[in-house]
A = this chain, B = another copy of it.
Amino acid sequence: MTTTAAQPPGPAVLQLSRSVAQLTADLVDIESVSGDEARIADAVEAAVRRYGSLSVRRLGNVVVVRTELGRPERVVLAGHLDTVPIADNLPSRLAGGRLHGCGTSDMKSGVALQLRVLDLIGTAALEPAVDLTWLFYDCEEVESARNGLNRVAAEHPELLRADLAILLEPTNGTVEGGCQGTMRARLSIAGRRAHSARSWLGSNAIHSAAPLLQRLADYRAREVEVEGLSYREGLNAVFIEGGVAGNVVPDRCLVTVNYRFAPDRSEAEAEQHLRSVFSGFELTVLDSAPAARPGLDRPLVRRAVQALGGEVAAKLGWTDVARFSALGIPALNFSPGDPNLAHRADESVELAQLERCERLLVGFLEHSSGAGTN
């Protein structure tokens, strides 16, 4: 919703008292492709430091904010600041009751919700029934090793400690439990280099990738039920590369695949499955992150589901709920973004849904105490 396409030269400024829609647009208009989050992290830090009642820590491009109200329970609101690469879809644009642009759905609308709650509590307009921790972090859209929340979980696990974490990842305004695991692996196909004018002396590694790609094209993904929620898997090539020069038969072709697996499989079982699918090909696991079970057996989780709309479905994308699960903290996904629009050039978020989610979240935090109701 800016009027110029170019980024302003100075530091970005955020006013957290604006409407959640306007705040989302302001966040979207600060480009923050993974690895390039310094500017948006600076803007968030500067904005939250204006509230004297909150403690603020900056760790790289992660910003952690906490209340210390002495409440018996603590809830984390967590969201990542980065986006996938821009696809000619900035600056943001308002049309048909929706805000369009890179990150509108995944997940700057969620970050805007975090910041709206922070503004209300920081100005004492909202008296929460729980203590709150806000985690704003970098590099969620790239390999697990660079993930800012991962780093904080490893180096300062006390900052994540809570009774419930709510991740503002896109869920279309419903609660989604657990998450699928994700594993990236590289398949390497070897050939023999030769001049392309005498190609019969070589062996073309790109041609030899045909049966591998055919296996991917033919692959039928599982649909698995876990704790009553249905998880649909997926196996995709996400990169392919090969070639030496325009007149050389290439001696190597590399295919990177991404496997999304249901919470009934461990990372070891996921790897075993990939090795079976790609038997005969050289496979190296690049990175992986475990799936998380829904964890709907805790009272605070059930109260959250109730307050946030009453329904819960399986989370199909991998999210950082798995990092909280690994620390024994139940975690839900909830935000207005449409996961089906995430990472697409036509990404957008519905403003009515965004405002509804703000109301539900504020309502949950005002009345989330379990005292006398459980």
* New contact pairs (7) apart from A210-B210, A238-B245, CB-CB < 8 Å: A84-B247, A193-B343, A194-B340, A196-B234, A206-B238, A237-B250, A243-B256
Write the nearest CB–CB distance from A124 to chain B, whole angstroms. 39
Query: Do residues B344 and A194 form an inter-chain contact, with CB atoms below 8 A?
Result: yes
Specify the chain B residue showing the minimal Cβ separation from A84. B245
A182 within 8 A of B: yes
Residues of B near A69 (CB, < 8 A) are none
A85 within 8 A of B: yes
A184 within 8 A of B: yes
Residues of B near A255 (CB, < 8 A) are 206
> What are 11 A-B interface contacts by the 8 Å CB criterion?
A195-B344, A198-B234, A198-B342, A204-B237, A206-B216, A207-B217, A210-B217, A237-B242, A238-B243, A240-B241, A243-B256
The distance in angstroms between the C-alpha atoms of A13 and B253, with both chains bound, is 40
A197 and B316 contact, Cβ closer than 8 Å, known pairs A240-B241, A242-B239: yes
Query: Do residues A317 and B198 form an inter-chain contact, with CB atoms below 8 A?
Result: yes
The distance in angstroms between the C-alpha atoms of A199 and B258, with both chains bound, is 10
Query: Do residues A193 and B344 form an inter-chain contact, with CB atoms below 8 A?
Result: yes
A249 within 8 A of B: yes
Residues of B near A199 (CB, < 8 A) are 221, 234-236, 260
Query: Do residues A195 and B250 form an inter-chain contact, with CB atoms below 8 A?
Result: no
Query: Do residues B84 and A248 form an inter-chain contact, with CB atoms below 8 A?
Result: yes
Residues of B near A232 (CB, < 8 A) are 200
Specify the chain B residue showing the minimal Cβ separation from A239. B243
Write the nearest CB–CB distance from A201 to chain B, whole angstroms. 5
**Interface residue from B143, B239, B340 paired with A198 (Cβ < 8 Å):** B340
Write the nearest CB–CB distance from A248 to chain B, whole angstroms. 5
A318 within 8 A of B: yes
A279 within 8 A of B: no
Query: Do residues A245 and B141 form an inter-chain contact, with CB atoms below 8 A?
Result: yes
Interface string of A336-374 (1 = CB under 8 A from B): 000110111100000000000000000000000000000
Query: Do residues A339 and B198 form an inter-chain contact, with CB atoms below 8 A?
Result: yes
A154 within 8 A of B: no
Specify the chain B residue showing the minimal Cβ separation from A219. B207
**Interface residue from B84, B182, B193, B197 paired with A260 (Cβ < 8 Å):** B197
**Interface residue from B249, B317, B343 paired with A238 (Cβ < 8 Å):** B249
A104 within 8 A of B: no
**Interface residue from B84, B106, B221, B245 paired with A85 (Cβ < 8 Å):** B245
Query: Do residues B240 and A243 form an inter-chain contact, with CB atoms below 8 A?
Result: yes
Residues of B near A342 (CB, < 8 A) are 195, 198
Rank and list the top 3 A-B pairs by shortest CB-CB distance, nearest first.
A239-B243, A197-B317, A210-B213
A193 and B345 contact, Cβ closer than 8 Å, known pairs A210-B210, A232-B200, A247-B141: yes
Query: Do residues B206 and A240 form an inter-chain contact, with CB atoms below 8 A?
Result: yes
A180 within 8 A of B: yes
A3 within 8 A of B: no
Query: Do residues B197 and A182 form an inter-chain contact, with CB atoms below 8 A?
Result: yes
A197 and B240 contact, Cβ closer than 8 Å, known pairs A85-B245, A246-B184, A258-B247: no
Write the nearest CB–CB distance from A14 to chain B, whole angstroms. 26
The distance in angstroms between the C-alpha atoms of A201 and B255, with both chains bound, is 21
The distance in angstroms between the C-alpha atoms of A195 and B83, with both chains bound, is 12
Write the nearest CB–CB distance from A35 to chain B, whole angstroms. 11
**Interface residue from B193, B198, B217, B246 paired with A87 (Cβ < 8 Å):** B193
The distance in angstroms between the C-alpha atoms of A303 and B60, with both chains bound, is 76
A213 and B209 contact, Cβ closer than 8 Å, known pairs A245-B141, A258-B247: yes
